[in-house]
Copies of this chain bind each other. A is one copy, B any other.
Amino acid sequence: MSAESPVNPESPVNPESSPLSVRIGEVQRTLPTVRAGNLGRVPLVEFIGDPEFTNAAAQAMLGLIPPGTEILLTVVTNALPLTHELSDRSGLPYVCARKKRRTYMQDPLIQNVPSLSLGVAETLWLDGPHAERMRGKRVTIVQDVIASGGTARALARFVELAGGTVGGYMAAFRQGDTTLPLAYLQELPSRV
C-alpha cells in the first residue's frame, strides 16, 4: 500500500481505459457503482483508505495548479487526504472547510450547498482563523470530484468573504456538466 508509484507527468491519465476504470500514473482502480439519491447508479471515488491512489492523484494534480496560486481551499471529507498530499508536495498551504459546526469555531463563515450524495442541502462551515489565512491571497479550490459545481461555488464564496481571490478550480475527477472552468485528471460518467 505504501509504495509511491512512478508517475508519468506527460500522460497521467490513460484515455483508453473504460468509463469505470480509472488510471492515474501507474495506479489503476475499478470504481464500484452505488445508488445516489434519485440519480440512479453513479461511480464511487474513494480516496479515504487508499493512500496509493491518493498519492498518485496528488502527484498528477501538481501539474494542474494554476500559476500564482498561494493557498489551497478544500472541504471534508473525501478530498482531505488528497489535499493534504497536494499541499505537502506543492509546498502550498491549505485550508479545509467543515460540514459540521464545531463548538470551538470562532466567527465561522457559513454557506449552504445542495448535496448530490446526500440528496439534501448541506451547510459548510469555515472557522474564522482559517478564513483569515486566505485574506489577500490567490486561492485555488480543490476537490476530489466536481459534479454540479455547487460545492465549488460555495467554497469560492468563502474565498471572497475572506478577502481573497479565486485563482481557479481543480479536481481529480469531473463528473457532469458544470460550467466552472475546471482543471481535472479524468472525466467520469454522471450515471451508469
Contact = CB atoms under 8 A, between A and B. Distances in A.
Contacts of A37: 103
Interface in A77-98: 77, 80-81, 84-85, 87-96, 98
Given A77-B76, A90-B2, A117-B103, A84 B51 contact: yes
A80 B48 contact: yes
Report the contact-size class of chain A (Cβ under 8 Å from the partner).
35 or more
Q: How many copies does the complex hold?
A: 2
Contacts of A84: 51, 54, 81, 84-85
B117 A102 contact: yes
A61 to B, nearest CB: 14
A117 B94 CA distance: 23
Nearest to A87: B51
A42 to B, nearest CB: 9
A91 B51 CA distance: 9
B98 A77 contact: yes
B36 A94 contact: no
B49 A93 contact: yes
A2 to B, nearest CB: 4
A1 interface: yes
Interface of A: 1-3, 32, 34-37, 44, 48-49, 51, 54-55, 76-77, 80-81, 84-85, 87-96, 98-100, 102-104, 117-119, 129-130, 133
Given A2-B88, A51-B93, 5 more contacts: A1-B87, A2-B91, A37-B103, A48-B80, A77-B80
